[in-house]
Amino acid sequence: MALTILIIVLAVLVLGYLRAPLIVWSAAILAAIGYGLHTHGGNYLLLAAPALILLVLNVPALRRAVLTGPIFKIFKKITPAMSQTEQEAINAGSIWWDAELFSGKPDYDKLHSYPKPTLSAEEQAFLDGPTEELCRMIDDWKINHELKDLPPEVWQFIKDNGFLGMIIKKKYGGVEFSNYAHARVVTKIATRGGTAAVTVMVPNSLGPGELLQHYGTEAQKDYYLPRLAKGLEIPCFALTSPYAGSDAGAIPDFGVVCRDSYTDPRTGVRHENVVGVRLNWEKRWITLAPVATILGMAFKMYDPDHILGDKEDIGITCALIPTDHVGVEIGRRHCPPGSVFMNGPTMGRDVFIPLDWIIGGKDYAGQGWRMLVECLSVGRCISLPAMSVASGKFASYVTGAYARVREQFGMSIGKFEGVDEALARIGGYTYQMDSTQRLALTGLDIGEKPSVISAILKYHNTERLRKVLNDAMDIHGGKAVVLGPRNYLGKAYQTIPVAITVEGANILTRSMIIYGQGAIRCHPYVLREMKAAMNNDLVEFDDAFTRHIGFVLSNKIRAFVLGLTGSKIASAPAQAGELAQYYKDIERLSTAFALLSDMAMFSMGGSLKFREKISARLGDILSNLFIATAVLKRFADEGSQKDDLPLAKWAVLQALHDAQEAFTGVLANLPNRPLAFMLGWIIFPLGRHFTTPRDRLGTKIARLLMQPGGARDRLTRDVYVPQDETDAVGVLSYALQAHIEAESSEGKLRRAQRDGKLKALDAKGRLDEALASGLITQAEFDAVTRARRLKREVIMVDDFDMMLDKHDTEISQRQPV
């Protein structure tokens, strides 16, 4: 009897782990019952009842009549109603690698089959040529504190060299770069100046150019796209209003269909008695609005007189309006913290526009929300994530060098464990940010529009930007808290709230969007079930629901088995190498996530959408699984460089730990406590063992950032570094190399001073004394002198006269007291 039970238990575990289909389960159950009856002399008629049940389960018509039909009736009643806005948001974009993570068994061969992101020869030439030249032209201190804008020559250079047309097709005069190239360009510019980066970024993100290419009429494309590509038009897009920020679908701005006359400001031609829309709007926080020549406008369109048809509430609509059109108000500006990119309000009162100014023409009236959410999934993968990557790379470059050059208590501050720990976070989070964007950009460049992944990038990259800059500021200390041309971190630190807030505020993105969209879009069966309910399609519901039940049962078994074995029996791809265990751990947590997600939806039903804290933590799990797999993909794409192992390991371990903490948070707060207890036992049968990265691993990253080498170069690629000892960033590379070359000689001097061999009271005197006594050679004297001079350049801060209007650029040349 015991052997029989053991065989049955093992069979259940194996079939569940392998996700055997229903027919195999049925055959196995009957075989097990028959074996038991045969072994113990039972009556074979006892097989009749289970056989009948299994027959019902395996014959769709019977199953629908007896089981799924009644369930379908209940499901239709309890399924929460979905607004049109929610439906359009969920239907927007596509699912991709995020769906694999929801599957509970991600296909790593598929992951590594995605192409490695690369630049074409033309794109590389643009990055090395015009982009490099633009960075040379940028004086961020002058832009922010004197001009309050980009200089005219920089504006013109941006227009003349195609920076505003990176997404526009070549047939319209654009450069038609890949999304990967677009992000690389923005990243490089952002390492030199945030104002210039935003100016380039916005026209290539969600706005007229993107919308026209996808939805514009041929006439609109032919007129506007060449002008946008050449910088003859400066675009902006007005969505946000004082009363509708995160809830963009609630914009109060409206237009009413009517007949009127207008003069086209582009041609000067008067048009009489035409059908159009009379608009009223008040928008805020619109980037480039103060200088825009063409205004993209989102508004709610109404047709109370039924001029266009029977429908009165047509819906959100997008139009293009020349800013010199009668009634359009622009020109005033906001003042974002830490940057002076053009951003401001726009208003319009009774502004009449013809129907052919609607993007896509009359046929696209009311389609604006769908257009926006579909295009937003592209822009959100590029713009702010690229700015975040830039800050991480820049912080890694400057902080690593500064921590090696800056000394206290007789040694580089980067060698103190407290600083070492912060350096590890800077390097590790930067590796995460860069890896996640690389994978997302790969998806975009093969034709995907991953809306859930774009939300993951927007939230997690900007949050890591905040963490990285906080650590960089802490390490730089007094160097970073005094603004001036020498402070290369202060302005980036001040602008953090901008990244956190725009393109979907982070709190909303985490608590409502990532899992709110992901649970429905990425789950293999939930959306099918919901659509079946909305379409009253029992056949489709029966198939999806039956598979869903099997999916849940299989995940229960797989989660328990993988937890019990420490993921050892999970799969890993051929590329895994010494990172194989990480692939297995991700598969384990993916299975557990699929199970927990289903149980949360089952136990809370429609109320889950209102339990934002639980939804946020479920989103954190999905996000960190995406981050971990993106890191592994990036490491393999770059040839599995041994020097990069500390970065890859830290990044994956941190993501796994963060995912585990999110699991813990969900289990601790599930309303159904017995269910939470059971799930905790299934998912973590041996406890929670995903720890944060070990100190020794962090120290390797800190050393990597403080030492020139291949790993540091790969991590900080695209950081613009002027080859100039007088530049605050440029001097760091010279100072770092000089410091390394002089370290042994400086050590010799410290030991001689400690032993009483050098009597002078000041450092310069002791250096002269050491040379005169033969303690050091002339070459060593010269190396130490150069290293100290460059170190002084690095550590000095700016000062001004009492009125803060006169800056002393020669401060570092003063002799120390």
**Residues that are catalytic:** 503
How buried is residue 215: exposed, middle or buried, by Cβ count under 10 Å (0-12/13-18/19+)? Answer: buried
Q: How far apart are CA 197 and CA 191, in angstroms?
A: 9
**Residue 620 DSSP label:** H
Which residues, at least 6 apart from 276, have a Cβ–Cβ distance to it below 8 Å? 257, 258, 259, 260, 262, 352, 353, 354, 355, 357
- Beta strands 270-287 and 254-263 are antiparallel
Environment class of 718 (CB within 10 Å of its CB; exposed 0-12, middle 13-18, buried 19+): buried
Give the separation between CA 69 and CA 65, rounded to whole angstroms: 6
Alpha carbon distance, N-terminus to C-terminus of the chain: 91
Contacts of residues 63-69 at CB distance under 8 Å and 24 or more positions apart, as own/partner, are: 63/542, 63/546, 64/538, 64/539, 64/542, 68/538, 68/541, 68/542, 68/545, 68/546, 69/538, 69/542
DSSP H stretches of helix in 230-321: none
Q: Is the torsion defined by CA of 129, 130, 135, 137 positive or negative?
A: positive
CA gap 817, 798 in Å, rounded: 17
Whether 729 contacts 722, CB under 8 Å:
yes
Contact (Cβ atoms closer than 8 angstroms) between residue 432 and residue 651: yes
Residues composing the chain: 817
Contacts of 279 (CB under 8 A, 6+ apart): 253, 254, 255, 297, 299, 319, 321, 348, 350, 351, 352, 353
**Which residues of 430-495 form beta strands (DSSP E)?**
none
Torsion angle in degrees (nearest 10) through CA of 353, 358, 364, 366: -60
- The token pair that represents 669 in the structure block: 């707060």
Helix, strand, or coil (residue 406): coil
Label residues 403-433 b or e (16+ Cβ within 10 Å = b): bbbbbeeeebbbbbeebbebbbbbbbbbbbb
What is residue 379's three-state secondary structure?
helix
Q: Point out which residues pair with 329 in neighbouring strands.
A: 347
Contact predicate 488/398, CB 8 Å: yes
Q: How far is CA 301 from CA 91, 248, 254, 784, in A?
A: 22, 15, 6, 72
Tokens of 507: 């709190």
